[in-house]
Structure 1
Amino acid sequence: MAAGTQELELFVREALMRGQSKEAIAQALGQAGWTAEQTRGVLDAYADVGFVVPVPKPRASLSAREAFLYLVLFATLYCVAFSLGSLLFDLINRMWPDAANGYDASAAVLGPSMRWSVAALTIAFPVFAFVSAYLAREVERYPIKRLSPVRRWLTYLTLFVAASVLIGDMTVLVYNLLGGELSLRFVLKVVVVATIAGTVFGYYLRDLRREEVEGSGGRPVGRGLLIATAVVILAASAAAIVTTGGPAVQREQRLDARRVQDLTRITYVVNNYVRQHERLPPDLQTLAAQPGMNLSIVDPVDGMPYVYRAGEDLDYQLCARFVTDTASDEDNYDSDSDWLHDVGEHCFEREAVRR
């Protein structure tokens, strides 16, 4: 095959040197059995300029720098597409919760997922936009760079991934439709996947067709598409921040979670103390003073001790001051939790376990 290609290249060069037109050469090669694609590939390697010998066009080459830039471009594209889809899924779960799976749609579960998605989009999208704009300027200055091998391979790989996602998305839609499980929540998720994958597939397919048919330069990603994507990302990120309460609320929730962890740890130590001494400890200082015990008995913010009150038999109270309310919004937390609380000081009734 390599020898046949070499013979074809030698023939085309010789024919051009003898003054034959490209059309006449293509016709002769077609009659000899060469395909139009093989012929065009060799003929396109020479420029249509008047000179005593055929003038070759510059050929695309692969450099480490170019490979790095395109790898970053497509890696951030995948990151943006996945993170945006994940964020929109979380928002849909939050706005249209499933009654059969309510806790999975709670703020307690969705909060970390939304934060990861917003963080990824905040970093990946600007990098994608910057690299895309930089490569666009390079292609505009040197159109031959559109024929970069790594760009072609990654573009076709992206088309394959996007097409696979679209096919899978439509398959799941039909499957659920036949099973009678179609709902607004499910339809919205299907639309999100189809829109993201379809936009990626449609743009890069059109980009390749423009390159192969027209052979002209062009921007890797259109400015309008970048602006529209940025608007969607900003809107989704703003909705996520409003839903999760923002950094200040998140910190307050983490501090209250830390207080609950401290109180939970204290209950374990109280149970262990009762097993050893057959009675409740007189105070928290006694618990913390036990050898090898690393027990937090004070508030992590103001350093005020947690309140402990020993009652009759093995009953006791643990109290702490909280800054968030989980008791009035049980749907957003585990319904079996024993640590739901109001804002302000809240006391929990507990009973020590001997065994």
Structure 2
Amino acid sequence: MPQPPDLAAYVRDALRDGQPREAIRADLSAAGWSDTEAEAALAAWSDRVTPAGPVPRPVRSGAAREAVFYVLLFVTFGMVAGNVLSLAFEQIEAWLPDPGAPARYAPRGMRWSMAALIVFLPAFWALDRADARAGRTDPSRRHGSVRRWLSAVAMLIAVIILMGDALVLIYTFLDGQMTARFLVKSVVVAGLAGLVLAYFRQTRVPGDGAARQPAGWAMAGLGLLVLALSFAVVGGPAQGRAEQRDRARLADMRTLARDMVRCDAFDQDTLPDTFDPLSCARDRRELTGFASEIAYSPAGPEAFELCTTVEAPVAIRQYDVTLSEDTACIRTDLPG
């Protein structure tokens, strides 16, 4: 960490005046400088004193390494906080759904946030523990310029979010649109912003590094909680593979429905009671092996349906698909 100019100047002048190093160290400690800062300031000067003053030793700056470390800590904390918020909102939508809106299920968005937490949460935890250990060894780390600047930026963002959250909450209340779901979301946003303020709080009061640990523990705990709840909602890889297979089945149904409308072998004037949709396939290379499971049935004098069994009906939320338990159907109206 770069030394403050006033500290370096004081040590230089004291050594030039012939003061012993132990006395200088004691004076610095009495003034509030940490042992690490005092040792670094004294180590910057050799024991040789010339008429011009003490001879400085070459100092290798660790500012770049410190900057990289704290930027990584800042980024990982931000990624954890952002994805915790995203998954918390999805949980609120699941537990407090809007009665007037269709059921919400967004597995892909949730899985992106889950993947981000799986990557960034351990990275944040490792960086946070490393910073805590280094802070106990060298309390002067909490005064680093890079850390203080990033902390100030994070706290500014958190304060702006808190004020915006309060603004929207009050407006919604005054406008008569307050719901339990909205209130819980607002509380979650305020709570996360408060955690950011607690984590990045910067002060020269001794023990500040220790005071920051509960906020780090709380953020890590929230990350694990929403991750576990999200796995319960969207399942693991097996559920994802089932949804992929269902998407292939729906794509096959749409392709065959389009081909049947233009198929000469399909009698559109008098719809047959039974028909093999694959006989109208224009290019079977566009289809998957699930196409053979698709069943045809007439749906009136000028429409027909193609149906298939799906594995994950909860994941099917598409406007042209009707569901009955584990059967998905697509209705096609014939041109007049």
User: Please, what TM-score do these two structures have when normalized by structure 1?
Assistant: 0.69
Alignment correspondent of 2:151 = 155
Name the SS for the 1:320 alignment partner: strand
| Residues 279-288 or 140-149, more deviating | 279-288
Q: Take 1:196 and 1:141, find their aligned partners in 2: how far apart are those partners? A: 29
1:261 partnered with 2:245: no
Residue equivalent to 1:339: 322
Residue 12 of structure 1 and its aligned partner are, at CA, apart by 9.9
Matching of residues 64-75 of structure 1 within 5 Å: 64-75=64-75
* 1:204 corresponding residue in structure 2: 200
- Structure 2 unmatched ranges of 5 or more: 20-31
Three-state SS of the structure 2 residue aligned to 1:353 is coil
* Distance in 1, Cα, partners of 2:237 & 2:332: 33
Residue type at the aligned position of 1:352: L
RMSD: 4.4
- Contact 1:298-1:306 at 8 Å conserved across structures: no
* Cα 1:320/1:115, change in 2 over 3 Å: same
- Equivalent of 1:139 in 131, 135, 141: 135
The percentage of counterpart residues that share the same residue type is 30
* Cα 1:15/1:244, change in 2 over 3 Å: closer
Residues 98-109 of structure 1: pairs in structure 2 closer than 5 A: 98-100=98-100, 102-103=101-102, 106-108=103-105
2:181 to 182, 185, 189: 185
Q: Pick from 242, 261, 268: which aligns with 1:252? A: 242
Q: Using the alignment, how far apart are the partners of 1:15 and 1:64 within structure 2? A: 30
Could you tell me how far 1:265 is from its partner in structure 2?
A: 1.5
TM-score (norm: length of structure 2) = 0.72
Residues 1:270 and 2:260 are matched in the alignment:
yes
- The answer on 1:166 being equivalent to 2:162 is yes
- Other-structure match for 1:24: none
1:42-74 Cα deviation digits (max 9, x unpaired): xxx97899x998999x99955332222111110
Sort the Cα spacing of 1:317 and 1:84 in 2 relative to 1 into closer, same or farther, 3 A. Answer: closer
Task: Kindly indicate whether residue 335 of structure 2 is the aligned counterpart of residue 353 of structure 1.
Answer: yes
Cα distance, 1:308–1:159 mapped onto 2, change above 3 Å? same
2:286 counterpart letter in structure 1: L
Counterpart contact for 1:61–1:148, Cα < 8 Å:
no
- Secondary structure of the equivalent of 1:273? coil
Shift in alpha-carbon separation, 1:66–1:180, aligned structure 2, 3 A: same
Count, aligned residues: 307
C-alpha separation in 1, matches of 2:174 and 2:299: 60
Q: 1:80-135, CA deviations, whole angstroms, 9 ceiling, x for partnerless residues?
A: 111111111111111112234x23xx343x32232222221121111001011122
Please point out which of 289, 292, 313 is paired with 1:298: 289
